[in-house]
Amino acid sequence: MKKMSILTLILILVFLFVGCGDDYESDYPADQPYTNDEINVEAPDSESGKSDNENESGSNPLNDDTNDEPTDDNDDEPDDVNDIPPQENPLDTTPPETSNSPQGTTPGGNQGHGNDDRPINIDPPPLIIPSGVSLNQSTATLDIGGTFTFTATVIPANAANRTVSWSSNSAAVTVNNGVVTAVSAGKATITATTHNGRTATASVIVREASTPPPIQPTGITLNHNSITLDIGGTVNLIANVLPANAANRTVTWSSDNQAATVNNGTVTAVRAGTAVITATTSNGFTATAIVTVREPAPSANPARAVFDDVNAERARHGLSALQWCDQLAAAALGHSIDVVGRGFGGHTGSDGREPSDRAGRPVVENLASRSATADPSSVAPSWMTSTIHRNNMLNSNATVAGIGWYNGFFTLKIAVT
């Protein structure tokens, strides 16, 4: 009987182990040892005083007295299963119940051990890295000092790190955060690089700064539109080329009549008459001034006064009077102006020509210098004291002559055959 009861208990424990093993999962770590307090065969109900093994009638299926096997009263084993002291069940892994204190509260806020509410570590999604980069333009042409801004687009748009670094392979340009500045003529390659080495490039050509076309004259004006001069008189014409910043402000001067000559804007009255003085720009714009030359009163014209004194000397020597020649007078005046301009006298002009060359015919020539305000009556007598000058004045074959006076200098030209 006792052996049968022990066997029955073992079968019940095996049944409990096999029936609960698939459905029960311990809340305790496998490597944590259990204590005796944690492994208990379920205690009798505190209210009824009955074991879970007892049925409602109070009978215990483990306590079957119908077995007629003889018993051994002298056996030390208990006769009834109820006489077996409580045993620790090594298969019961149910942890002890916890109180409602904070220590028994799971991280999720639930009481007890019905669910495993410990935090679950979830790995974050992997970072998206750039797969490429592009530029807004592949080429650019700049003048020295010019700038251009390249814009880099990292691909894909949701890449985690969209940082781009910039570089240039040439000193012809500099690049700062995509802004390219042209430094010197040449070529350069601009490179944009992502943090993981993806690149995009653009070519830059730097040329010499273009020179704007020169500004051409659009007109010209003169400070005088009309002038009246006595023979031997002078005036300065001043040309104003428009606009003021015209690149070429060169002016050429011309006269349409020998009554007046012009040299770099200085007009000289040669003989009675009218002349049109024209100033012309490099591209053909013109401005004009009309010059009227008149015979001065005898007392006001030193050249005429000296001419009369020469004829008086010829008359005293029984020679015919010389006739006034405008052509010779103009040549004489031109030489007087040339001498005053150079600051010294001589028969050879600054252009290398001799007296006959300037007159366009054979001539003899007398020169005299006086102050601009000196009395011209001393000129002819002084020539009579010089053999060469005297012979020129008293040449019996001479018929025409002209005298030019300018700022105190006299030139007498007498035509000879």
Q: What is the rounded average pLDDT of the residues 173-199?
A: 95
Q: Which one has a higher pLDDT value, 20 or 196?
A: 196
Average pLDDT over residues 295-309: 81
Please say if the pLDDT value at position 192 is more than 50.
Answer: yes
d(C-alpha 193, C-alpha 152), whole Å: 9
Q: Which residue has the higher pLDDT, 340 or 123?
A: 340
pLDDT for the residue 88: 54
Q: Is the pLDDT of residue 182 over 60?
A: yes
CA distance 416 to 4: 184
pLDDT band of residue 30 (cuts 50, 70, 90) is very low
Amino acid, res. 243: P
> Helices then strands (H, E): number in the chain?
6, 22
How far apart are the C-alpha atoms of 287 and 88, rounded to whole Å? Answer: 135
Task: Give residue 72's pLDDT.
Answer: 47
Range with the poorest average pLDDT among 107-121, 211-225, 263-277, 322-336: 107-121
pLDDT band, very low/low/confident/very high, at 231 (cuts 50, 70, 90): confident
Q: Which of 109-118, 226-235, 345-354 has the lowest mean pLDDT?
A: 109-118
| Mean local confidence (pLDDT), 226-250 | 92
pLDDT tens profile 131-160 = 999 999 999 999 888 899 999 999 999 999
| C-beta of residue 358 within 8 angstroms of C-beta of residue 336 | no
Residue 299: its pLDDT value, please? 60
362-402 residue pLDDT tens: 999 999 988 766 778 899 999 999 999 999 999 999 999 99
- What tokens appear for 24 in the block? 């029960």
Element (H, E) at 280: strand 273-281
Mean pLDDT rounded to a whole number for the chain? 80
Which residues are CB-neighbours of 366 under 8 A, at least 6 positions away? 383, 389, 392, 393, 410, 411, 412, 414
The pLDDT value given to residue 18: 59
pLDDT tens per residue across span 65-74: 444 444 444 4
Half-sphere exposure of 89 (CA within 13 A, CB side): 17
Residues in the chain: 417
Two structure tokens written together for 327: 């052509």
pLDDT in tens, 270-294: 888 999 999 999 999 999 999 999 8
pLDDT at 116: 59
pLDDT on residue 173: 95
- Does residue 386 contact residue 284 with C-beta atoms inside 8 Å? no
